[in-house]
């Protein structure tokens, strides 16, 4: 293991790796299989094993390296395999495809059409990443290397120019220069707050007291966001390099990487990166021959959403309950163990090497007036191409959803998007032309948050979604301050009444009042923003609330108490799956009143709990179960073909 | 808990000798060894670390990952993140619960299965997501959930 004792050592190592001296170098013929959590869930482990076996069987193990890489973001089409040096991009690969891939693509250099991405609109096949609309419309600086890197080793990262920014900072920049560069880049924190990163760094550097600490926040709690997971799993050294530069800039010698418990692979890869960096002398004493000493500890979270808040996270690092503290003084001055502490989100840290390498001018040339650089969004929910997308700040939601995301599945209408996680809000369809940056989203009553974009179609009920978030936050509120703890509970009560059809019009006023109070009086950002999902739905979807309250009707056919289920006898094939799965035992075979009539099922409405399991287990090609939401609806079988039936 | 178990506990405690703020990490390590944190372990920790039992309980009960009750041989988690939610995760949860005849966060009486809701597993592109022990299953339908459960029995 070469220990790098100078910048020159690092350059030498990089040169050797880039010349292909190392079989894991990205320039050589290589089979790259995404081994991120997403692709693993879709069977990537089997694909990897099949490649291993097949290569061994053909005696190619030494000649064609197999690389388990990080996540390139196109999880929808996983498992993803890329064959280098041509960069042939295969989607939805299974273990059975492996012998053919080796025979045809690796050896004979021929394409297998069936495994290429097919554009659902044009029918065109995409051979390389750049041919595929999902990637083509992105600007990928942060996640582009994920598919080229084996995140369990350091070699690929160094071969691709890793740790050059650190070398540059240590050899030719003073800590003050580094801070100036970050300030001039106008990078804003990617964790949700959007605070100017350079100012935070400057405050931490200027704060009296020592030792100082630097911290990576990988407690990505926002449901629907997973860019931090992908970076930590797929390119952990880019985060570590950013952290090292930050430590050098503020004068810290110790750092922490806090990874949430739900991300076991991120924990594993972060740990591996720390060990390798130590072995290579990139952590420890006199890094790259400079006088800079620094080391990192890994801290696993234990499952608490609120611990992603900076003061709460520092409490957790101290081994205490991860509850927030009042921020009368910034954590950059009094943070971990009451020392100046610089905490940034994973994606923020990963931006730092880019800024140092390419310069603040380059970085600030990307994006909008007040939001610079690119941002990784997780595009999920009711959209065709789900996954991680990295785009310049300022791209419109419509471009993201339709050009990159390929639109809504099943020909449905987009209702809106939810951004910013539980602290964010819902933006309706008519605002999809909004350019996405920190300030634009806030002005619509939502926020950037950590960058989740959850696409909602007509089957999503705005009231139910608001209730879901309030419920989520009720669970996750630490309970320390009254406005958040009690405000959420009261809101939950009210919303539960509304979705059950027992709401009153004055409830909407009460919701607004509670929301205002929580915003003004809660201790931490979780409480101050907790009402946003309610406020934004009230703002943009008030008529939907009123439909629940005035008409006891759920237009999206979601709210259980307001929906009834019926079985259309003419469609029912009496397979019995609904009866088998009904938890209430409310389904039985219907009486055959006419001769020659095929058997069918009926739902006993008095016993039905409206759980909807029958609707979901009814085979989709049969589609006999229908749901209706009408005031005092009592449709006889004859009216089943009228509008208002969801199927 | 017998003497051998407590010895294992002591070994794990010793890993953290001389460090600060390790209680959460220690509990996580103990849990990966024992699957849950029994009452005896907490009083043992209290004696050994000279930390009040109440303080250890406060931490152990605050964090969701720490189990203060025995867990089943198979741990089933259903992701309730927003992306999974809008694609019908609550149906998967209800269905799984009704099949196992337990509520979320409970364990079957024969200690075979524990069912947990989890807030987001970060596999949002393939929701609804369900995990069984260390295996992730994406785009789970009720049919799929049924198959997964069948394979476990």
CATH number at residue B139: 3.40.30.10
CATH value at residue A394: 3.10.20.600
Same domain, B42 and B107: no
Tokens 């394979």 locate to B151
- Report the number of distinct structural domains present in chain B: 2
Considering the domain architecture, whether residues A192 and A316 belong to the same structural domain is answered as: yes
Is residue A44 domain-shared with residue A191, that is, in the same domain?
Answer: no
In tens, the pLDDT along A322-379 reads 999 888 889 999 999 999 999 999 999 999 999 999 999 999 999 999 999 999 999 9
State the complex-level ipTM: 0.92
Is residue A621 situated within a structural domain? yes
CB A129 within 8 A of CB A89: yes
For residue A614, what is the domain's CATH number?
3.30.70.20
Q: Would you tell me which residues 130-149 of chain B have a C-beta closer than 8 angstroms to some C-beta of chain A?
A: 134-138, 141-143
Q: Verify that B46 and B106 share a domain, yes or no.
A: no
The answer on pLDDT for A509 being more than 90 is: yes
Supply the range of the domain harboring residue B20.
3-62
- pLDDT tens digits, one per residue of A274-322: 999 999 999 999 999 999 999 999 999 998 888 889 999 999 999 999 9
How close B52 comes to chain A (CA, Å)?
Answer: 13
Q: In this structure, is residue A556 part of a structural domain?
A: no
* Mean pLDDT rounded to a whole number for chain A: 91
CATH of the domain at A209: 3.40.50.11540
- Say if residue B88 is in the same domain as residue B134: yes
Residue B25 lies in a domain: yes
Q: How many helices (H) and strands (E) does chain B have?
A: 7, 4
Question: Does the beta-carbon distance from A387 to B138 stay under 8 Å?
Answer: no
Instruction: Judge if B57 and B20 occupy the same domain.
Output: yes
Name the β-bridge partners of B132: B76, B135
A–B interface: beta-carbon pairs under 8 A:
163
Whether residue A261 sits in one domain with residue A407: no
Residues B54 and B81 in one domain: no
Please state the pTM of the whole predicted model.
0.91
Q: Mean per-residue pLDDT for A246-267?
A: 96
Instruction: Write out the residue range of the structural domain in which residue A83 sits.
Output: 22-135
Task: List Cβ neighbours of A287 (8 Å cut-off, separation of 6 or more).
Answer: A166, A170, A244, A281, A293, A294
CA–CA dist B112, B71 (Å, integer): 8
Rounded to a whole number of angstroms, the distance from the CA of B48 to the nearest CA of chain A is: 16
Is residue A500 located within the same domain as residue A448?
no
Nearest to B120 among A224, A299, A581 (CB): A224
What is the per-residue pLDDT across A513-558, written as a single tens digit (0 to 9) for each?
999 999 999 998 889 999 999 999 999 999 999 999 999 999 999 9
Query: Could you tell me if A323 and A204 lie in one domain?
Result: yes
Same domain, A442 and A480: no
Residues A432, A206: contact at Cβ < 8 Å? no
Tally of domains within chain A: 5
What local confidence, expressed as pLDDT, does residue B24 receive?
A: 94
Do B47 and B97 fall into the same domain?
Answer: no
Among B16, B22, B24, the residue to mutate for chain A (most A Cβ within 10 A): B24
Q: How far apart are the first and last CA of chain A?
A: 61
Nearest CA in chain B to A71: B123
Residues of chain B with pLDDT under 70: none
- Please check whether residue B102 touches A, CB under 8 A: no
Closest Cα of chain B to A344: distance in Å?
Answer: 19
In angstroms, the CA A541 to CA A88 distance is: 45
The whole-number pLDDT of residue A16 equals: 87
| pLDDT surpasses 60 at A2 | yes
Domain stop point among A524, A550, A576 = A550
* Residues B54, B98 within the same domain: no
Q: Which of B81, B88, B118 sits opposite A224 (nearest CB)?
A: B81
Same domain, A546 and A577: no
Are B107 and B57 contained in the same domain?
A: no
Residues in B closer than 8 angstroms to A303, CB to CB, are 63-66
Q: Is the peptide bond before A84 cis (omega within 30 degrees of 0)?
A: no
């Amino acid at each position: 293991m070469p220990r790098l004792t100078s910048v020159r050592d690092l350059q030498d190592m990089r040169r050797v790796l880039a010349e292909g001296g190392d079989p894991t170098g990205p320039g050589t013929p290589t089979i790259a299989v995404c081994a991120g959590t997403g692709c693993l869930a879709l069977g990537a482990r089997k694909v990897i094993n099949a490649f291993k076996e097949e290569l061994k069987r053909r005696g190619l193990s030494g000649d064609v390296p197999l690389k388990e890489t990080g996540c390139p973001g196109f999880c929808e089409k996983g498992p993803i395999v890329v064959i280098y040096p041509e960069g042939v991009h295969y989607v939805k690969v299974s273990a059975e495809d492996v012998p053919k891939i080796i025979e045809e693509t690796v050896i004979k250099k021929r394409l297998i059409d069936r495994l290429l991405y097919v554009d659902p609109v044009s029918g065109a096949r995409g051979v390389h990443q750049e041919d595929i609309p999902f990637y083509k419309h992105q600007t990928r600086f942060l996640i582009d290397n994920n598919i080229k890197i084996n995140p369990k080793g350091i070699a690929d990262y160094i071969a691709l120019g890793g740790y050059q920014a650190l070398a540059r900072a240590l050899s030719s920049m003073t800590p003050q220069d580094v801070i100036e560069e970050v300030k001039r880049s106008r990078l804003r924190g990617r964790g949700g707050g959007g605070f100017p990163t350079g100012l935070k760094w400057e405050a931490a550097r200027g704060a009296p007291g020592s030792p100082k600490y630097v911290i990576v926040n990988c407690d990505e709690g926002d449901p629907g966001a997973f860019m931090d997971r992908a970076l930590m799993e797929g390119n952990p050294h880019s985060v570590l390099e950013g952290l090292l530069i930050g430590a050098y800039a503020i004068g810290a010698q110790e750092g922490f990487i806090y990874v949430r418990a739900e991300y076991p692979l991120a924990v594993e890869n972060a740990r591996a990166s720390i060990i390798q960096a130590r072995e290579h002398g990139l952590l420890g004493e006199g890094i790259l021959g400079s006088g800079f000493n620094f080391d990192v500890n890994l801290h696993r979270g234990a499952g608490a959403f609120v611990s992603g808040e900076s003061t709460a996270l520092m409490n957790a690092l101290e081994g205490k309950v991860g509850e927030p503290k009042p921020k009368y003084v910034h954590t950059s001055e009094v943070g971990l163990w009451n020392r100046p502490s610089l905490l940034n989100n994973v994606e923020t840290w990963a931006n730092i090497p880019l800024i140092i390498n390419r310069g603040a001018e380059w970085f600030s040339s990307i994006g909008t007036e007040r939001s610079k650089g690119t941002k990784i969004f997780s595009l999920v929910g009711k959209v065709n191409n789900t996954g991680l997308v990295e785009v310049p700040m300022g791209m419109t939601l419509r471009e993201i959803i339709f050009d990159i995301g390929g639109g809504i599945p099943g020909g449905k209408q987009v209702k809106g998007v939810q951004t910013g996680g539980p602290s964010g809000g819902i933006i309706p369809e008519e605002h999809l032309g909004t350019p996405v940056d920190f300030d634009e989203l806030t002005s619509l009553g939502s926020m950037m948050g950590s960058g989740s974009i959850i696409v909602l179609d007509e089957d999503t009920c705005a009231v139910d979604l608001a209730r879901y978030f309030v419920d989520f936050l009720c669970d996750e509120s630490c309970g320390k301050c009254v406005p958040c703890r009690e405000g959420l509970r009261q809101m939950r009560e009210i919303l539960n009444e509304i979705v059950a059809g027992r709401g009153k019009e004055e409830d909407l006023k009460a919701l607004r009042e509670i929301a205002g109070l929580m915003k003004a009086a809660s201790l931490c950002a979780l409480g101050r923003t907790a009402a946003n999902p309610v406020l934004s739905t009230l703002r943009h979807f008030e008529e939907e609330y009123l439909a629940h309250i005035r008409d006891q009707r759920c237009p999206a056919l979601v709210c259980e108490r307001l929906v009834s289920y019926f079985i259309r006898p003419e469609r029912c094939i009496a397979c019995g799956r609904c009866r088998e799965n009904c938890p209430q035992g409310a389904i039985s075979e219907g009486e055959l009143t006419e001769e020659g009539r095929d058997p069918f099922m009926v739902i006993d409405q008095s016993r039905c709990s409206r759980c909807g399991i029958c609707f979901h287990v009814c085979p989709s090609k049969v589609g006999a179960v229908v749901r209706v939401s009408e005031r005092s609806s009592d449709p006889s079988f004859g009216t089943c073909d009228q509008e208002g039936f969801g199927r | 808990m017998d003497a051998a178990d407590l010895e294992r506990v002591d070994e794990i405690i010793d890993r953290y000798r001389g460090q600060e703020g390790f209680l959460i990490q220690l509990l996580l390590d103990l849990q990966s060894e024992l699957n849950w944190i029994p009452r005896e372990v907490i009083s043992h920790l209290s004696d050994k670390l000279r930390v009040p039992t109440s303080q250890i309980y406060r931490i152990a009960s605050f964090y969701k990952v720490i189990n203060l009750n025995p867990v089943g041989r198979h741990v089933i988690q259903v992701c309730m993140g927003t992306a999974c939610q809008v694609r019908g995760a609550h149906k998967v949860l209800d269905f799984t619960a009704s099949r196992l005849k337990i509520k979320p966060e409970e364990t079957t009486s024969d200690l075979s299965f524990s069912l947990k809701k989890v807030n987001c597993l970060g596999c949002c592109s393939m929701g609804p997501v369900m995990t069984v022990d260390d295996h992730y299953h994406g785009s789970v339908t009720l049919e799929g959930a049924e198959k997964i459960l069948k394979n476990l029995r």
